[in-house]
């Protein structure tokens, strides 16, 4: 069977140690975590973990069952295969020599991102989008010179029926 | 009412009906011990914290109730880890209380501080660090619910010293709600109907039962199903006793050291009704070749057990007892009249396997370990509670003691934990004071928790220990003989203590048999004594457990004696 990317959305008790239980489950059973993002939901007692993992179908079925078995896990959804929106965000510190500044700003414009910090030799850009957009902007900025990058994992939600 | 954390703990333990705690005190649990002494709860002082957990485990397995233990922080807590992992692998309900340094010292590398919640996260069903006395009662109640329900397991509660000795106004917690914890007890009826159809149409079915049937107390329903449908039954190590070992439909244990007929059945059968099992590698052998012709109906309360190792045709998540009961009711509505004739050919085939390749050994000049177990079975009429250590002793006990009832075979199946048998026997004896409890041990594993002899003596527990003494770590030696050209690296154990003198040193009775004709008199004398007894049987040194399926081979390819 072939491994595929699966996006899991996991609602958990917002308590210390819960993330460690989930990370421990993955490392202990040899599952992989491609990316992970965690934050409180509108209910302060509940956090949402959005996780991306590479696995074949039986393994992802087992992962979901194992997650559900943890006492602090309230719900596990798989988003892949249904209709959902996904976003990541990145802060990209890009080298900005005088002759490239206009070009960078043009890219910022095209990708609808923002310049959030500016200095003698750099711009820091804030980019949000799905994976495709992230890859595209990084490809364009690489030749100009990326000094540093900080990226979140994927966050995602189901689309509601129209 | 103002109560300290320790007093609140006692209140809740009493409410939970706890009558026995296995423990070992230390600095941060003195407050709890101080309150414990004021209650009717019996405290059993073990000699090592690992023994406390195994004893609570043995108590739980023999009684079907939740076992409880209490230890101090740091080394007290780390010493429980092997016991906890043992209980976790075998799904045994226990609650472990560990002391912890005061909350304001946590994280400071304080004296006897260890992050036991972090350490035991992967080997507990759940665990807690109590940070406020106000949360204590609720957490303890939750722990008992979690440990004993669904697929049971150990739950650990870490209790900082200030949580135990702070006084608060105590109000008993109202109904406990665990919003995300909701085990499925009742099976899906559609799947059950599919199972009925498969059972009716199968020509060569078997039932394969495991520890889940013991835990759900579903032995009666299982036996009814087998008899009603004329289906032969095999068990995993953990399931032994859920189906009478004397029944004509009994196949013996399946797996690496299973009987010839049980293993052959798995290769030939067209249907496996698997109940309360998890298809461990010691059962399946090579998974791709396991039961190649069979459809599998898998009943288990834990969804993760289903389709973890092998594909399943009919998955049924539910409590084994409830599910088997419903299955029997559905089968009652079916016409099963022709099953007797329909199954005859299959049962004849099994009888033929049984008569041509039975479990066998030859008793000659030196005592054979199998002979000791057979004699033990005879003299106890198969009704003793048997605990075991791990290795050859465990396998011979499983093969030659024909268990009639559940909760009578207490063994470390999943973890394979040497040193389990003696403390587990202590726990079982305390749970069942009127029963004969026998630990079947090897000379190697008995030494791993031999210190618990003192515990047995202190509480006058007439536990009987049968040592099959071959001066080897026998199971590893067997692998070395069969697969490593007899290079016995690290397995010779010529320097054991004199077990008879050791028994006497502890104040127990010590007996020894060196010749076959001494086996029965020694067993008779030992079993009838009111004392703790060690019986040392000097057995054939290089006897092997057969049948044996080499690790990773198909289960039908057995080495026979």
Say yes or no: A43 contacts chain B, CB-CB below 8 A.
Answer: no
Domain locations along chain A: 4-78, 87-153
Q: Does pLDDT of A1 surpass 80? A: no
Q: Nearest-CA distance from A51 to chain B in Å?
A: 19
pLDDT tens column, B479-504: 999 999 999 999 999 999 999 999 99
The predicted pLDDT at position B339 comes to 86
Active site residues of B: 49, 111-112, 161, 475
Backbone angles phi, psi at B476, to 5 degrees: -65, -40
B2 touches chain A (CB under 8 A): no
Contacts of B102 (CB under 8 A, 6+ apart): B28, B110, B160, B161, B162
Tell me if B495 sits within 8 A of B447, measured CB to CB.
no
For chain B, 561 residues long, the average pLDDT of each consecutive 10-residue run is 96 97 98 98 98 98 97 98 98 98 96 98 98 97 97 98 97 88 96 96 97 98 97 98 97 97 97 97 92 97 95 97 98 88 94 94 95 98 97 98 97 98 98 98 97 98 98 97 97 95 98 98 98 98 96 93 80
Predicted confidence (pLDDT) per residue in B76-92, tens digit: 999 999 999 999 999 99
Give the number of A-B residue pairs with CB atoms closer than 8 Å: 34
Indicate which of B107, B121, B132, B307 best probes the interface with A, i.e. most A CBs within 10 Å of its own CB: B121
What ipTM does this complex have? 0.91
Give chain B positions within 8 Å (CB) of A65.
Answer: 303-304
pLDDT > 70: percent of chain B:
100
Q: Which residues of B touch A20 (CB under 8 A)?
A: 118, 121
Which domains, and CATH codes, for chain B? 2-169 (3.40.50.970), 189-356 (3.40.50.1220), 369-538 (3.40.50.970)
Which CATH superfamily, name and number, covers A4-78?
A: ACT domain (3.30.70.260)
Q: Does the fold of domain A87-153 match that of domain A4-78?
A: yes
Instruction: State the distance between the two ends of chain A, measured CA to CA, in whole angstroms.
Output: 35
Q: Which residue has tokens 């057990």?
A: B305
Q: Which residues of A touch B177 (CB under 8 A)?
A: none
Q: Which residues contact A58 (CB under 8 A, 6 or more apart)?
A: A1, B307
- The Cβ-side half-sphere exposure at B394, using a 13 Å CA radius, reads 26
Cα of A55 to nearest chain B Cα, Å: 14
A17 interfaces chain B, CB cutoff of 8 Å: yes
Closest CA to B417 of B93, B80, B169, B127: B80
User: What is the rounded CA–CA span in Å between residue A155 and residue A145?
Assistant: 27
Model pLDDT, residue A81: 86
Chosen from A12, A30, A69 to mutate, greatest number of chain B CBs within 10 A? A69
Query: Would you call B179 an interface residue with chain A, using a CB distance cutoff of 8 Å?
Result: yes
Q: Which residue has the tokens 């739950």?
A: B155
CA–CA distance, B64 with B34 (Å, rounded to integer): 29
The token pair that represents A156 in the structure block: 């995602």
Residue B146 at interface with chain A, using a CB cutoff of 8 Å: yes
The answer to whether the beta carbons of residues B31 and B161 sit under 8 Å apart is yes
Q: What angle do CA B478, B359, B537 make, to 5 degrees?
A: 60
Q: Which of B180, B183, B279, B317 to mutate to test the interface with A (most CBs of A within 10 A)?
A: B180
A59: closest CA of chain B, how far (Å): 8
Assign domain A87-153 to a CATH class. alpha beta
């Amino acid at each position: 069977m072939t491994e595929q990317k699966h996006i899991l959305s996991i609602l958990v008790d917002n308590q210390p140690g819960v993330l460690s239980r989930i990370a421990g489950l993955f490392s202990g059973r040899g599952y992989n975590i491609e990316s992970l993002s965690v934050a409180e939901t509108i209910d302060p007692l509940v956090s949402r973990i959005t996780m991306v993992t590479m696995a074949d179908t039986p393994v992802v079925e087992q992962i979901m069952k194992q997650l559900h078995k943890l006492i602090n896990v309230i719900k596990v959804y798989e988003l892949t295969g249904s209709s959902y929106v996904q976003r990541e965000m990145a802060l990209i510190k890009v080298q900005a020599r005088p002759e490239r500044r206009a070009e960078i700003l043009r890219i910022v414009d095209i990708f609808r991102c923002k310049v959030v910090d500016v200095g003698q030799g750099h711009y820091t850009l804030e980019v949000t989008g799905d994976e495709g957009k992230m890859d595209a902007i990084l490809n364009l900025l690489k030749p100009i010179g990326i000094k540093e990058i900080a990226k979140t994992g994927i966050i995602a939600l189901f689309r509601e029926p129209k | 009412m103002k109560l300290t954390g320790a007093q609140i703990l006692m209140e809740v333990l009493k409410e939970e009906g706890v009558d026995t705690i296995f423990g070992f005190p230390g600095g941060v649990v003195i407050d709890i011990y101080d309150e414990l002494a004021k209650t009717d709860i019996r405290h059993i002082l073990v000699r090592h914290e690992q023994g406390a957990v195994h004893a609570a485990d043995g108590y739980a397995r023999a009684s079907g109730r939740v076992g409880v233990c209490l230890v101090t922080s740091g080394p007290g807590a780390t010493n429980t880890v092997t016991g906890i992992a043992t209980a976790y692998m075998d799904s045994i309900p226990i609650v472990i209380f560990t002391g912890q340094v005061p909350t304001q010292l946590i994280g400071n590398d304080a004296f006897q501080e260890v992050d036991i919640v972090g350490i035991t996260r992967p080997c507990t069903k759940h665990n807690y660090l109590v940070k406020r006395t106000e949360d204590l009662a609720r957490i303890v109640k939750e722990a008992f619910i979690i440990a004993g329900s669904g697929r049971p397991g150990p739950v650990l509660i870490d209790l900082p010293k200030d949580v135990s000795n702070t006084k608060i106004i105590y109000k008993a917690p109202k109904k406990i709600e665990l919003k995300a914890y909701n085990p499925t007890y009742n099976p899906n009826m559609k799947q059950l109907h599919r199972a009925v159809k498969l059972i009716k149409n199968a020509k060569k079915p078997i039932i394969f039962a495991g520890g889940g049937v013991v835990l759900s107390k579903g032995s009666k329903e299982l036996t009814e199903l087998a008899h009603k449908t004329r289906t032969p039954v095999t068990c995993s190590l953990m399931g032994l006793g859920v189906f009478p070992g004397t029944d004509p439909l009994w196949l013996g244990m399946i797996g690496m050291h299973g009987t010839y007929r049980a293993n052959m059945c798995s290769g030939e059968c067209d249907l496996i009704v698997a109940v309360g099992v998890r298809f461990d590698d010691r059962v399946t052998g090579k998974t791709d070749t396991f039961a190649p012709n069979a459809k599998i109906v898998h009943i288990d309360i834990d969804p993760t057990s289903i389709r973890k190792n092998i594909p399943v045709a009919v998955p049924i998540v539910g409590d084994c007892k409830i599910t088997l009961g419903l299955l029997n009711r559905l089968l009652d509505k079916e016409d099963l009249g022709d099953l007797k004739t329909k199954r005859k050919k299959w049962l004849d085939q099994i009888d033929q396997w049984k008569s041509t390749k039975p479990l066998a050994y030859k008793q000659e000049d030196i005592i054979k370990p199998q002979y000791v177990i057979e004699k033990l079975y005879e003299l106890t009429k198969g009704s003793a509670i048997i605990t075991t250590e791990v290795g050859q002793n465990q396998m011979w006990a499983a093969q030659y003691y024909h268990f009639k009832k559940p909760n009578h075979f207490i063994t470390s199946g999943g973890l394979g934990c040497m040193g389990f048998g003696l403390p587990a026997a202590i726990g079982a004896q305390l749970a069942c004071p009127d029963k004969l409890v026998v630990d079947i041990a090897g000379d190697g594993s008995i030494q791993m928790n031999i210190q618990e002899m003192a515990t047995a003596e202190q509480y006058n527990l007439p536990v009987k220990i049968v040592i099959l003494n071959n001066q080897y770590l026998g199971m590893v030696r067997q692998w070395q003989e069969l697969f490593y050209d007899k290079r016995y690296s690290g397995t010779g154990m010529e320097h054991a203590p004199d077990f008879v003198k050791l028994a006497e040193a502890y104040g127990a009775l010590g007996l020894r048999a060196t010749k076959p004709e001494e086996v029965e008199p020694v067993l008779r004398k030992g079993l009838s004594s009111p004392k703790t007894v060690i019986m040392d049987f000097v057995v054939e040194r290089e006897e092997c457990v057969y049948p044996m399926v080499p690790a990773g081979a198909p289960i039908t390819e057995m080495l026979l004696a």
